[in-house]
Structure 1
Amino acid sequence: MGKHRAVFLDRDGTINEEVQYLSRVEDFRLIPGVPYALQRLKDAGFLLVVVTNQSGIGRGLYDEAALHAIHDKMHEELSSFGITIEACYFCPHHPEHAVGDYRVDCSCRKPLPGMLQQAALDLDIDLSGSYMIGDKLGDIEAGLNAGCTSLMVQTGYGAADSARLPEGVLAYPGLQEAVEAIYEREGKGKRPGR
């Protein structure tokens, strides 16, 4: 069992505004309130880890360099708020719609837990004490499959997927509300002034 606890976060529709197959840095926009919510998680002692399916790479819509440029932009914007993301994991594969080496049944594509499990090994994370937050059913299932507690946000695709949630998983309007739910679950209550 790892010694750190983490909050795993989907990227598109959870941290940044949903853009189908986001491939251009200039289209990356943080969802309002996300920096504050991420700071609350950091204040509670969680590592922040992004886990994102990026089948657009496998489909040939953009390359890994474009993805890394977008992640650099995300890190830059969040660091201006004093927030550090410990690591970003991505799955470029798709079992049917990808080309070449990217067309594969992998263990990293959500809802499978491969990215979370790899992060747990790399960063010494206790998955059973960690959380997964995302806007798609696959995000929620990946967290559950890894042994985490999952929460859905209704930003991005969450509004449509929230009707199909597994029993015991709740949906929240956005990341700030999901973070408040984590605080309540952890018995931390709300921070003064909030």
Structure 2
Amino acid sequence: MPQTPPRFVILDRDGVINLDSDQFIKSPDEWIPIAGSLEAIAAMNQAGYRVVVASNQSGIGRGLFEMSALNAMHEKMYKALANLGGRVDAVFFCPHTAADACDCRKPKPGMLEQISERFGVELKGVPVVGDSLRDLEAGVAVGCTPHLVRTGKGQKTLDKGGLPPGTRIHDDLRAFSRWLTIGEGAQRPPAS
């Protein structure tokens, strides 16, 4: 029997999974999940989706926090998810500032290309969920379908306009998860 290709979802972190701050999220104490976001990830997992995070973390490059703090934030997220029966398969992040001119800082697609390579999957049609234009642009550059959540900077992003064609709008990650697992998104064949 042929194996079904894995179904993936790529999420931004700050403003999608956890509360965002213009002063950066610098410690586990500042990492606070948005209501329903962790349950949304668990629901996606239970529906057969692998969830991967792709996040710009220029606070490292700016010297605002160390790698140990970022690891502690992600450990907090992993434990909270595990308590709900959920998981994130991997967190990819860019530690650079815009001045570094790297290939991995969104809106450039390098981080998503790394995800494709690491997991051996084609990202065409894979949902990418973010709260900023750069999240969506990075995804569209590798063939992902763009989804904007209104949480974090999402409402400002929506008000500003200029979203990639075909962008779907969701109130929050919980609404996206429902769309994906039991709504209209569940009606489409899995991305290969």
TM-score (norm 2): 0.88
Tell me if 1:67 matches 2:67: no
Counterparts of 1:185 and 1:160, CA distance in 2 = 25
Sequence identity percentage = 38
Counterparts of 1:74 and 1:125, CA distance in 2 = 25
Query: Which region of structure 1 is more displaced relative to structure 2, 175-184 or 154-163?
Result: 175-184
Tell me if 1:51 matches 2:54: yes
Q: Which amino acid is 2:187 matched to?
A: G
Query: Which region of structure 1 is more displaced relative to structure 2, 163-172 or 134-143?
Result: 163-172
Structure 1 equivalent of residue 178 of structure 2 = 180
Gaps of 5+ in 2: none
- Cα deviations across residues 107-130 of structure 1 (Å, max 9, x unaligned)? 110111111111111112230131
Counterparts of 1:128 and 1:28, CA distance in 2 = 31
Tell me if 1:23 matches 2:19: no
Deviation for aligned residue 1:186 = 3.1
Deviation for aligned residue 1:37 = 1.3
The number of residues matched between the two structures is 180
Counterparts of 1:71 and 1:151, CA distance in 2 = 23
Structure 2 equivalent of residue 129 of structure 1 = 125
1:117–1:3 Cα change, 3 Å: farther
Q: Which amino acid is 1:150 matched to?
A: P
Structure 2 equivalent of residue 192 of structure 1 = none
SS of 1:88 mapped into structure 2: strand
8 Å contact 2:41–2:87 — kept in the other structure? no
Counterparts of 1:25 and 1:72, CA distance in 2 = 9
Structure 2 equivalent of residue 109 of structure 1 = 105
Deviation for aligned residue 1:86 = 0.4
- Cα deviations across residues 2-36 of structure 1 (Å, max 9, x unaligned)? 94221001111100111231111111111111122
Structure 1 equivalent of residue 10 of structure 2 = 8
8 Å contact 2:146–2:166 — kept in the other structure? no
Gaps of 5+ in 1: 97-103, 189-194
After superposition, the CA RMSD in angstroms is: 1.6
Deviation for aligned residue 1:94 = 1.5
Counterparts of 1:186 and 1:148, CA distance in 2 = 16
